[in-house]
């Protein structure tokens, strides 16, 4: 009898534990009672912070008939408060539901908001238990974050999901850095690194609008916005930061034509030395690419010539992008978004300790030399021998 | 089947799950930074310290075992000295239960169900662990060996899936704050594992090559810690220090193909570890109380313990300062020193001086 009682008690207790775990993230809360946030835009106005959120329209999303024409898939709410947290909490009074941040995909920061301290803006997202460290960050270039969250895209879809995919894909194509909350906090807490956020614009497209990823925004050591990096320079940043994933590369050939490559993989190696009191960063970029398209290939006399010329053209294109990027970063409003300081700390701690208090000058005076080793993996179906007419 | 006799691999599987729960629920503190590369080396110190610290326990065990082989057994009943020792051990393990459950409460109420009162949940967990402990060391250890395979498999898979998120710029130069600071942090890290002290209670019931299994346990635990910390530091960097449970935050990043939100999987594994750890402590307390009050039944002790732990946790749960006391570093050091070093040394001295043996007629 005692054994039976003990077994029953164990089963009851285990069932209780399982039930506690089986009630989603918010115990005792219906899914439709949650405000499942997909994207958050943060602007400032005279009253403080204004947040614009895109939330899933639970009733429509959960429709058993799958009828997607009745209502939009998402709803947009705005609220204002003295802080980001206060503004987000105000959302409850607008929607009647509790905000749920665990599914949030992107945080868009308005250009004016970026003049404020980035660490303060992100503090809520670091501290909140629901909020995930992998949320992506970007800045609304030349406008408000609200405009991005409210953009009229062609399809009725979750706009934040599209923006998230665009940011991820841009990173995969080595066009802009991927900045999650983790990356931003790490750069802010580093004594020498500058935060660099992808910049997104809303562009008119007839009656609709599109998102465009347009370079990135640089934040100084006070964590405030300082300048934009144009798209080309942001691409160069990927080579400087050893963040080459994939991507396209366009190169000028000596015959005046263009060659286009797909980067398959790449890696940047660093050597740091100090010569005449100046830091020298010797970067070796190894990239492997496929030739996608080439103009005027019929003019090359041999396969070897052809390969040598396209390799050298690809290398020159990479070097140019990286050099342009470093020139911009070493300009008046620029800063160490390349994380040169961090690399110095890991490779030569003693030298880093000597320079870290005057890193701004050390970085701006640092000399960068770039060597690019290109490996052509494939050249496509059409070879040199199949001469064009 | 003898409920209290287990093989060495079974028992050390139980101990492995128990120490693993400490790293899973490792809390960032201003005293010890988890985000430095040094933290990867701390488990190596853990291996050495654990092996050295356990020497008194093994010396004592060997001493008693030697007399046993000579046909004598230690007499411990109705002896005030042993009652005091047992009571001190009981206090250590009760504190261990409170410490572990308070951490788990904090974890559950902040990461699993933010903003919810977890009192009922924790009470249910305490009751389950209490009842499990009544099944005996054999049942717990046999379950542990199966759970160990699951835990190692799942944790390994989750960690490998984090590889893509490792950024080598997140690491820092070794001994950045000096070797002294590293040693201090390492020792504070080592004292988390005061379950080593339970060896003194359970060693007589363990069959097989105990010392060899213990060394293997220490090495495996240290290597597992290092691997988990490698991925935590590599994926989070300094961000780890801003998070309450850095290991959990790192796990939330894990994804493999279509599999996302692997933190749910890992959390289930952690609960397994916590259940095993608490059950082991319950068993230790029940055994100690049996020595102090031989007439009190094990079930009675278990029920009282469940009530006491639940009430104290109810008090701790809503107050972060009270939680801070349970997690206070000097308290942890004290518990480790008492359970692993001081009490075994006192017992060695006692056995050497008093020699409380009598002929074991059962064996003759």
In degrees, rounded to 5, the angle at the alpha carbon of residue A227 between the alpha carbons of residues A177 and A135 is 35
Residues of B in contact with A189 (CB under 8 A): 238-239
| Residue B9 structure tokens | 């691999």
Question: Does the distance separating the beta carbons of A17 and B113 come in below 8 Å?
Answer: no
Average pLDDT of A101-128? 92
Beta bridge partners of B358: B73
- A47 min Cα distance to partner chain B (Å): 28
Backbone angles phi, psi at A158, to 5 degrees: -80, 105
Euclidean distance between CA atoms B233 and B220, whole angstroms: 20
Question: Does the distance separating the beta carbons of A190 and B238 come in below 8 Å?
Answer: yes
Nearest by Cα to B283 from B93, B108, B145, B126: B93
The answer to whether the CB of B188 falls within 8 A of the CB of B334 is no
Which one of A13, A130, A134 has the shortest CB-CB distance to B253? A134
Residues 6+ apart with CB under 8 A from B327: B27, B99, B102, B103
Residues of A in contact with B169 (CB under 8 A): 339, 342-343, 346
Euclidean distance between CA atoms B129 and B148, whole angstroms: 18
Backbone angles phi, psi at A180, to 5 degrees: -95, 175
The answer to whether the CB of A292 falls within 8 A of the CB of A260 is yes
Q: What is the 3-state secondary structure (H, E, C) of chain A?
A: CHHHHHHHHHHHHHHHHHHHHCCCCCCCCCHHHEEEEEEEEEEEECCEEEEEEEEECHHHHCCCCCCCCCCCCEEEEEEEECCHHHHHHHHHHHHCCEEECCCCCEEEEECCHHHCCHHHHHHHHHHCCCCCCCCEEEEECCCCHHHHHCCCCCCCCCHHHHHHHHHHHHHHCCCCCCCEHHHHHHHHHCCCCCEEEEEEEEEEECCEEEEEEEEEEEECCCCCEEEEECHHHHHHHHHHCCCCCCEEEEEECCCCCEEEEEEEEEEEEEEEEEECCEEEEEEEEEEEEEEEEECCHHHCCCHHHHHHHHHHHHHHHHHHHHHHHHHHHCCCCCCCCCCHHHHHHHHCHHHHHHHHHHHHHHHHHCEEEEEEEEEEEECCCCCCCCCCC
- B272 min Cα distance to partner chain A (Å): 12
Residues of B in contact with A130 (CB under 8 A): 114
Question: Does the distance separating the beta carbons of A345 and B172 come in below 8 Å?
Answer: yes
Q: What's the pLDDT at A163?
A: 96
Average pLDDT of A71-78? 85
A276 has a pLDDT exceeding 70: yes
- Domains of chain B and CATH, by start: 7-67+76-343 (1.10.4160.10)
- B309 min Cα distance to partner chain A (Å): 16
In degrees, rounded to 5, the angle at the alpha carbon of residue A309 between the alpha carbons of residues A303 and A312 is 135
Question: Does the distance separating the beta carbons of B239 and A186 come in below 8 Å?
Answer: yes
Euclidean distance between CA atoms A51 and A351, whole angstroms: 44
A101 has a pLDDT exceeding 50: yes
Question: Does the distance separating the beta carbons of A132 and B169 come in below 8 Å?
Answer: no
Question: Does the distance separating the beta carbons of B176 and A13 come in below 8 Å?
Answer: no
* pLDDT digit string, tens, across residues A280-336: 999 999 999 998 888 876 656 567 778 888 899 999 999 999 999 999 999 988 999
- B17 min Cα distance to partner chain A (Å): 20
User: Does any CB of chain A come closer than 8 Å to the CB of residue B243?
Assistant: yes
Residues of A in contact with B110 (CB under 8 A): 129
Residues of A in contact with B121 (CB under 8 A): 16-17, 20
- B355 min Cα distance to partner chain A (Å): 41
Residues of B in contact with A17 (CB under 8 A): 121, 124-125, 128, 271
Question: Does the distance separating the beta carbons of A346 and B169 come in below 8 Å?
Answer: yes
Question: Does the distance separating the beta carbons of B253 and A14 come in below 8 Å?
Answer: no
- B151 min Cα distance to partner chain A (Å): 19
Backbone angles phi, psi at A203, to 5 degrees: -120, 135
Average pLDDT of A144-162? 90
Q: What's the pLDDT at B259?
A: 80
Which one of B125, B132, B237 has the shortest CB-CB distance to A17? B125
- B314 min Cα distance to partner chain A (Å): 17
Question: Does the distance separating the beta carbons of B132 and A10 come in below 8 Å?
Answer: yes
User: Does any CB of chain A come closer than 8 Å to the CB of residue B178?
Assistant: no
Backbone angles phi, psi at A167, to 5 degrees: -65, -40
The answer to whether the CB of A181 falls within 8 A of the CB of A89 is no
Give the single-character DSSP code of B256.
B
Which one of B121, B131, B242 has the shortest CB-CB distance to A10? B131
User: Does any CB of chain A come closer than 8 Å to the CB of residue B252?
Assistant: yes
Which one of A9, A182, A186 has the shortest CB-CB distance to B131? A9
Residues of A in contact with B268 (CB under 8 A): 21
More confident residue, A241 or B351: A241
Nearest by Cα to A200 from A182, A223, A179, A183: A179
Q: What's the pLDDT at B4?
A: 61
User: Does any CB of chain A come closer than 8 Å to the CB of residue B124?
Assistant: yes
In degrees, rounded to 5, the angle at the alpha carbon of residue A253 between the alpha carbons of residues A287 and A290 is 35
Nearest by Cα to A333 from A229, A187, A188: A229
* pLDDT digit string, tens, across residues A2-16: 677 667 766 766 666
Question: Does the distance separating the beta carbons of B243 and A133 come in below 8 Å?
Answer: yes
- Give the three-class secondary structure for B353: helix
Q: What's the pLDDT at A66?
A: 45
Q: What's the pLDDT at B353?
A: 82
Euclidean distance between CA atoms B322 and B358, whole angstroms: 47
Chain centroid to CA A60: how far?
30
The fraction of chain B above a pLDDT of 70, given in percent, is 94
Which H/E stretch holds residue B249?
helix B246-252
Which H/E stretch holds residue B74?
strand B72-74
CATH code, residues A231-389? 3.30.300.210
Euclidean distance between CA atoms A259 and A307, whole angstroms: 12
Which one of B110, B237, B271 has the shortest CB-CB distance to A186? B237
In degrees, rounded to 5, the angle at the alpha carbon of residue B279 between the alpha carbons of residues B278 and B281 is 65
Question: Does the distance separating the beta carbons of A14 and B237 come in below 8 Å?
Answer: no
Question: Does the distance separating the beta carbons of A345 and B124 come in below 8 Å?
Answer: no
User: Does any CB of chain A come closer than 8 Å to the CB of residue B176?
Assistant: yes
What are the residue ranges spanned by the domains of chain A?
31-229, 231-389
Q: Is A231 exposed, middle or buried (0-12, 13-18, 19+ CB in 10 A)?
A: middle
Residues 6+ apart with CB under 8 A from B294: B77, B78
A21 has a pLDDT exceeding 70: no
Q: How many CB pairs under 8 A join A and B?
A: 77
Mean pLDDT of chain A: 87
Which one of B128, B170, B252 has the shortest CB-CB distance to A13? B128
User: Does any CB of chain A come closer than 8 Å to the CB of residue B163?
Assistant: no
Q: What is the mean pLDDT of each run of 10 residues along chain B (364 residues)?
A: 77 94 78 86 94 93 79 68 92 93 88 79 90 92 92 92 94 89 90 90 90 95 95 94 90 86 85 93 94 89 94 83 77 92 92 72 49
A350 has a pLDDT exceeding 80: yes
Question: Does the distance separating the beta carbons of B253 and A25 come in below 8 Å?
Answer: no
Whole-prediction pTM: 0.89
Question: Does the distance separating the beta carbons of B236 and A133 come in below 8 Å?
Answer: yes
The answer to whether the CB of A38 falls within 8 A of the CB of A103 is yes
User: Does any CB of chain A come closer than 8 Å to the CB of residue B174?
Assistant: no
Which H/E stretch holds residue B207?
strand B206-207
The answer to whether the CB of B347 falls within 8 A of the CB of B59 is no
Residues of B in contact with A21 (CB under 8 A): 112, 268
* pLDDT digit string, tens, across residues A33-57: 788 999 999 999 988 999 999 999 8
Backbone angles phi, psi at A191, to 5 degrees: -65, -25
Band of residue A277 on the pLDDT scale cut at 50, 70, 90: confident
Residues of B in contact with A339 (CB under 8 A): 169
Mean pLDDT of chain B: 88
More confident residue, A22 or A267: A267
Residues of A in contact with B171 (CB under 8 A): 346
Residues 6+ apart with CB under 8 A from B196: B15, B50, B53, B54, B57, B339, B340
Beta bridge partners of B141: none
Which H/E stretch holds residue B73?
strand B72-74
Which one of B128, B237, B252 has the shortest CB-CB distance to A132? B252
* CB environment B161-187: b (16+ within 10 A), e (fewer): bbeebebebbbbbebeeeeeebeebbe
Interface test with B, best of A7, A182, A344 (most B CBs within 10 A): A182
The answer to whether the CB of B290 falls within 8 A of the CB of B73 is no
Question: Does the distance separating the beta carbons of A186 and B238 come in below 8 Å?
Answer: yes
Which one of B110, B128, B173 has the shortest CB-CB distance to A14? B128
Residue labelled with tokens 């356990």: B54
- A179 min Cα distance to partner chain B (Å): 12
Structure ipTM:
0.85
Band of residue A77 on the pLDDT scale cut at 50, 70, 90: very high
Band of residue A1 on the pLDDT scale cut at 50, 70, 90: low
Residues 6+ apart with CB under 8 A from B248: B24, B107, B111, B263, B266, B267
Residues of B in contact with A177 (CB under 8 A): none
| Residue A385 structure tokens | 């021998």
């Amino acid at each position: 009898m005692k054994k039976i009682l003990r077994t029953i008690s164990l089963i009851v207790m285990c069932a209780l534990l399982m039930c506690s775990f089986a009630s989603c993230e918010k115990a005792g809360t219906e899914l439709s009672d949650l405000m499942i946030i997909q994207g958050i835009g943060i602007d400032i106005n005279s009253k403080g912070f204004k947040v614009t959120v895109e939330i899933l329209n639970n009733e429509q999303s959960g429709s058993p008939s799958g009828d997607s024409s009745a209502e939009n898939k998402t709803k947009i709410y705005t609220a204002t408060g003295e802080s980001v947290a206060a503004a987000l909490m105000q959302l409850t009074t607008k929607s009647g539901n509790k905000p749920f941040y665990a599914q949030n995909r992107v945080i868009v920061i308005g250009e004016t908001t970026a003049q404020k301290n980035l660490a303060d803006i992100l503090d809520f997202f670091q501290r909140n238990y629901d909020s995930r460290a992998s949320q992506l960050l970007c800045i609304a270039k030349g406008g408000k974050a609200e405009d991005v969250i409210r953009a009229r895209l062609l399809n009725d879809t979750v706009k934040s999901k599209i923006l998230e995919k665009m940011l991820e894909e841009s990173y995969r194509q080595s066009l802009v850095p991927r900045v999650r909350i983790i990356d931003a906090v790490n750069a802010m807490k580093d004594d020498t690194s500058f935060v660099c956020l992808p910049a997104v614009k809303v562009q008119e497209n007839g009656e609709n609008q599109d998102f465009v990823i347009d370079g990135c925004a640089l934040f100084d050591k006070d964590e405030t916005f300082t300048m934009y990096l144009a798209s080309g320079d942001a691409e160069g940043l990927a080579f400087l930061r050893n963040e080459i994933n994939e991507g396209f590369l366009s190169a000028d050939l000596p015959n005046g034509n263009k060659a286009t490559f797909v980067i398959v993989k790449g890696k940047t190696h660093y050597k740091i030395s100090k010569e005449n009191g100046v830091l020298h960063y010797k970067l070796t970029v190894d990239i492997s690419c496929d030739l996608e398209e080439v103009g005027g290939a019929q003019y090359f006399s041999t396969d070897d010539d052809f390969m040598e010329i396209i390799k050298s053209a690809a290398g020159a294109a990479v070097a140019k992008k990286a050099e342009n990027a470093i020139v911009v970063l070493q300009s008046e409003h620029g800063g160490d978004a390349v994380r040169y300081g961090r690399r110095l700390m890991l490779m030569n701690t003693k030298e880093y300790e000597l320079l870290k208090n005057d890193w701004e000058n050390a970085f701006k005076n640092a000399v960068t030399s770039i060597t690019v080793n290109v490996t052509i993996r494939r050249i496509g179906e059409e070879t040199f021998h199949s001469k064009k007419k | 089947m003898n409920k209290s006799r287990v093989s060495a691999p079974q028992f050390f599987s139980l101990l492995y799950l128990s120490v693993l729960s400490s790293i899973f629920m490792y809390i960032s503190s201003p005293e010890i930074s988890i985000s430095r590369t040094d933290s990867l080396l701390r488990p190596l110190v853990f291996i050495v310290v654990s092996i050295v610290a356990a020497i008194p326990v093994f010396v004592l065990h060997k001493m008693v075992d030697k007399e046993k082989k000579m046909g004598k057994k230690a007499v411990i009943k109705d002896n005030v000295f042993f009652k005091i020792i047992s009571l001190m051990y009981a206090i250590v393990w009760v504190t261990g239960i409170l410490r572990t459950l308070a951490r788990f409460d904090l974890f559950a109420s902040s990461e699993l169900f933010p903003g919810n009162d977890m009192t009922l949940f924790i009470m249910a967990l305490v009751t389950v662990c209490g009842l499990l402990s009544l099944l005996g060391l054999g049942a717990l250890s046999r379950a542990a060996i199966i759970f160990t395979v699951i835990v190692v498999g799942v944790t390994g898979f989750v960690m490998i899936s984090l590889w893509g998120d490792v950024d080598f710029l997140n690491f820092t130069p070794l001994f950045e704050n000096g070797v002294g600071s590293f040693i201090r942090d390492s020792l504070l890290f080592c004292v988390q594992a005061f379950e080593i002290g339970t060896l003194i209670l359970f060693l007589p019931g363990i069959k097989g090559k105990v010392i060899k299994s213990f060394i293997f346990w220490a090495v495996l635990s240290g290597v597992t810690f290092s691997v988990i910390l490698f991925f935590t530091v590599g994926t989070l960097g300094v961000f780890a220090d801003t998070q309450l449970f850095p290991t959990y935050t790192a796990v939330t990043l894990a994804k493999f193909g279509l599999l996302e939100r692997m933190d749910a999987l890992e959390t289930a594994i952690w609960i397994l570890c916590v259940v095993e750890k608490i059950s082991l402590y319950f068993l230790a307390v029940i055994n100690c109380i049996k020595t102090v009050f031989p007439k009190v039944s094990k079930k009675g002790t278990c029920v009282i313990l469940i009530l006491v732990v639940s009430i104290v946790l109810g008090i701790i749960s809503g107050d972060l300062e009270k939680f801070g006391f349970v997690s206070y570093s000097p308290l942890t050091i004290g518990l480790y020193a008492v359970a692993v070093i001081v009490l075994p040394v006192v017992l060695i001295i006692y056995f050497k001086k008093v020699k409380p043996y009598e002929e074991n007629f059962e064996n003759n």
